[in-house]
Structure 1
Amino acid sequence: MNVHIDQAKQILVANDRGGYTVPTDRLYPFQWNWDSAFVAMGFALYDTDRAYRELERLVEGQWADGMIPHIVFHQPSDTYFPGPSVWRTKHAVPTSGITQPPVFAIALRKLHEVAGRQAEARTLPLYEAALKWHRWWYRARDPEGSGLVALLHPWESGSDNSPAWDIALARVPTTTDTPVVRKDTGHVNAEMRPRDEDYKRFIHLVDAYAACGWDPAKQWKKAPFKIAEIQTTAILLKAGEDLEHLAGLFGRTEDAAEIAGFNDRTRKAILSQWRPKLSRFVSRDLISGDDVEAATQAGFIPLLSLDLDAGIADALVTEMKAWSKGLKVAFPTTKPGIAAWEPKRYWRGPAWAIINWLLIDGLKRNGHPDAAEELRKSTITAIETEGFAEYFDPVTGEGCGGLGFSWTAAAYMWLTKAASTAARVQ
């Protein structure tokens, strides 16, 4: 038995808070949206009942309009800021007021396939929740029908302080109605976390949307930050494909047609964001109208959800190899060597196991199994050497951020399973 698999399972047990998992103790003491979707895929490998519970507990936070928030505050904790009193949302279970990348339906399909037909009664309510959420994305975050969904807060991307936001975020004031009392830097070295100035802008946005009563139409009009984002849209499309598949399984023909319509529109929209000169896809700043040309991992995530022309896929892989050259751990979340690159600071350079997991699936989908295997081995080696850290310094290999991290444990289990499956097939 792989000792690291045992350790990964122990981390999920240690981070279990009663049917839902916190990302890590103290630093993130609540249930996070996309974290839980990745964690559910980890549980699905050995405990389908617990995997279902993870998603069911997350859906307890779903709003009447369909949004699944990025944080569900099941129990009080004073180790995290901003807590429920800052968000000022009006939901039966306290939640944040923004969302996160919709990995949920990707996890649900994998879970249903493992659990089998007898689990249909448990899958169906979660399928309904996922469909409501996808409808929310297209209604609330793409009201003009472009096919690309927009983020109104950097936290919605999951890549909170990415260089992708630097230009747009600089337009957001640093004034806040809420005292900014950070807790994260008490748990983790401040050099690894977003800067204070970023935090003031993050909280300014929270204040602005709380003043709108979290009404999506009002927020859309007032938003001082509005990015049609390529990573989130690509994840939405992959989740949409999986949702369409489940609709077909359950004989929901009208749902399947509706979801297919969303997916077709989004597929075309993502392709229109390909920039040959940059060898990657780009997001669009909806306030300035400009491309977001910052060199981050987001530009490669469309591999996950598109069957690309060989020329585009080859260009993406060539660019990925150039970014990874000479690094101890791939794949960096910012292009090494550019001014914005900080190899230890959160989303400004480090390698993340879950991003690698998405990229590995995308590389396999687009006919690059060797590049996928190289990235898989890099990720596995980093974890086996440094432990289940939140992320890794790509230059030194050091595990950074929070330790004993749930989604890193889930990624490890999934990536080692992928290897053993491949070995049996050969």
Structure 2
Amino acid sequence: MTVELDARAKEILRGNDRGGYTVPTHGLYPYQWNWDSVFSAWGFSTFDLPRAWVEIETLFASQKADGMVPHIIFHQVDPGYFPGPDVWQGGGEPPTSGISQPPVAAILARLMWEGDRDAGRAAITALYPKMVAWHRWWMEHRVVDGVAVVTHPWESGRDNCPDWDHGMAGVDGSNVGEYHRRDTGHVDADMRPKKIDYDRYLAIVYAGRSMGWDQARVLAEGPFLMTDPAVHFILLRAMDDLAAIGRDLGQDVAEVEGWAETLRAAVPDMWNPDLGAYDAYDLKSGQWANNLGTGAWLSYLAGVENAAMDARLTKAWDKVRYGIPSADPEGATFNPKRYWRGPSWAVMNALIALGFQRMGHEAWDARLRRETADMIRIGGFAEYHDPLDGSPCGGANFSWTAAIWLTWAGRD
């Protein structure tokens, strides 16, 4: 079974390869997505290391002058996807979106490099200053009082998770006009964000577009602004990994280490005492999200020790069978099949497991690996899975789920 799944995972990555970049899956996502692409590179590194480095190099080839690496790169026009480059108007050639996505590149690039330092030295040497520039962009344009923020739910990578309900409620989506979604033509609408969500997503895009994607204005004037513990913990871990890469390359990493300390010092500011967990905060309304989910679980990735989080994690985890749910199973908004409102994501399980490994939680790492592997055996290489029964949800033949099988879940 494992050998068959190994072969199928490689087949999926090769099938989604568009020559220098990988699409998440055929049809539903026909372009290069930022963090999907880096996970695909990690998967390629297990059987085609040169191709893996090309994936990240292609991603960073669209880096903006200010250092931002966009969340979508529209390499080829595909009328089957909405909203496309004509809606975003993010500039560039190829055109891009106007926002970014969680900065996992340094985390996974370090893992790739450690797999074969000689083969990856030229690539990591060229990528290092570009990753530094991207991290600088995050610090200058997406960190407020030491805490990472997002200006669009899509920037978090967790589009419709309950974290954003407060912030989205303050976005007026009534004037976006008529549009035709394409995502619900590929997968069950009950597994996707609702129309009211899309109305507001588009309103935020139109606001950024009207500002010419001036990132200072987007941060100050955009209709959505929430702190995001998930992005914060990813960025903090990425800073630590970037500094480690820089030291190995003989670079001066004082600036990167300083950014890491800024982020680390702000971790207590993300603690919601009423929730008893790390939580998102709406800077527009001054309200906590009051949601226990992925943002809190990624504290392990950043090496954050917190006994209270251990207790909250085990309680939520024990309510499901396959991996860690993306929202609290006891929460009122929990839905085991709707995108980021409850399903288990192999890719998030892998990031959380990297945290378990970092912190010496060997039993948790083994359990999460086993449950994720079982989930993939039951539901295949789906975009995400129902955490109660392992059934497939979202898109099929998904690149990053295949990558997670090859790099972590399917390995003894």
Q: TM-score range by the shorter chain?
A: over 0.9
Residues 9-28 of structure 1: pairs in structure 2 closer than 5 A:
9-28=10-29
Counterpart Cα distance in 2 of 1:94 and 1:124: 26
2:82 is aligned to 81
What are the Cα deviations for residues 119-161 of structure 1, in whole angstroms up to 9, with x where unaligned?
A: 322222211111110000011112x5x2212100000011000
Equivalent pair of 1:351/1:391 in contact (CA under 8 Å): yes
Counterpart Cα distance in 1 of 2:177 and 2:399: 30
Equivalent pair of 1:147/1:262 in contact (CA under 8 Å): no
Counterpart Cα distance in 2 of 1:177 and 1:352: 31
TM-aligned CA deviation for residue 285 of structure 1: 1.6
Equivalent pair of 2:165/2:289 in contact (CA under 8 Å): no
Counterpart Cα distance in 1 of 2:208 and 2:177: 13
SS of the aligned residue for 1:2 comes to helix
Counterpart Cα distance in 1 of 2:175 and 2:247: 47
2:292 is aligned to 295
More deviation, 221-230/27-36 = 221-230
Q: 1:6 and 2:4 equivalent?
A: no
Counterpart Cα distance in 2 of 1:260 and 1:326: 38
TM-aligned CA deviation for residue 307 of structure 1: 4.3
TM-aligned CA deviation for residue 275 of structure 1: 4.0
Of 339, 347, 357 in structure 2, the residue corresponding to residue 354 of structure 1 is: 347
Q: 1:329 and 2:322 equivalent?
A: yes
What are the Cα deviations for residues 383-424 of structure 1, in whole angstroms up to 9, with x where unaligned?
A: 01221000011122211100000000001111146x43xxxx
More deviation, 80-89/176-185 = 176-185
Residues 188-227 of structure 1: pairs in structure 2 closer than 5 A:
188-227=187-226
Counterpart Cα distance in 2 of 1:118 and 1:33: 23
Matched residue type, 1:319: R
1:259 is aligned to 256
Equivalent pair of 1:180/1:200 in contact (CA under 8 Å): no
Equivalent pair of 1:180/1:199 in contact (CA under 8 Å): no
2:106 is aligned to 105
Equivalent pair of 2:275/2:291 in contact (CA under 8 Å): no
SS of the aligned residue for 2:263 comes to helix
More deviation, 17-26/298-307 = 298-307
2:154 is aligned to 155
TM-aligned CA deviation for residue 286 of structure 1: 1.5
TM-aligned CA deviation for residue 276 of structure 1: 5.6
More deviation, 330-339/26-35 = 330-339
Residues 11-410 of structure 1: pairs in structure 2 closer than 5 A:
11-142=12-143, 144=144, 146-177=145-176, 179-253=178-252, 256-275=253-272, 278-308=275-305, 312=306, 314-410=307-403
Equivalent pair of 1:282/1:292 in contact (CA under 8 Å): yes
Counterpart Cα distance in 2 of 1:277 and 1:61: 42
Matched residue type, 2:386: D
Counterpart Cα distance in 2 of 1:238 and 1:179: 41
Counterpart Cα distance in 1 of 2:142 and 2:319: 39
Counterpart Cα distance in 2 of 1:411 and 1:178: 39
1:423 is aligned to none
Question: How many residues are paired up?
Answer: 411
Matched residue type, 1:186: G
What are the Cα deviations for residues 261-289 of structure 1, in whole angstroms up to 9, with x where unaligned?
A: 00001011123323465342112221123
TM-aligned CA deviation for residue 175 of structure 1: 2.6
Counterpart Cα distance in 2 of 1:373 and 1:337: 25
Equivalent pair of 1:178/1:203 in contact (CA under 8 Å): no
Q: 5+ residue gaps in structure 1?
A: 421-426
Counterpart Cα distance in 1 of 2:310 and 2:304: 14
Change in CA separation of 1:389 and 1:174 when aligned onto 2, cut-off 3 Å:
same
SS of the aligned residue for 2:247 comes to helix
Counterpart Cα distance in 2 of 1:356 and 1:348: 15
Change in CA separation of 1:371 and 1:119 when aligned onto 2, cut-off 3 Å:
closer
Equivalent pair of 1:230/1:282 in contact (CA under 8 Å): yes
TM-aligned CA deviation for residue 376 of structure 1: 1.0
Counterpart Cα distance in 2 of 1:270 and 1:381: 34
Equivalent pair of 2:162/2:289 in contact (CA under 8 Å): no
Counterpart Cα distance in 1 of 2:121 and 2:358: 27
Equivalent pair of 2:319/2:329 in contact (CA under 8 Å): no
**Normalized against structure 1, the TM-score is what?**
0.93
SS of the aligned residue for 2:238 comes to helix
TM-aligned CA deviation for residue 365 of structure 1: 2.0
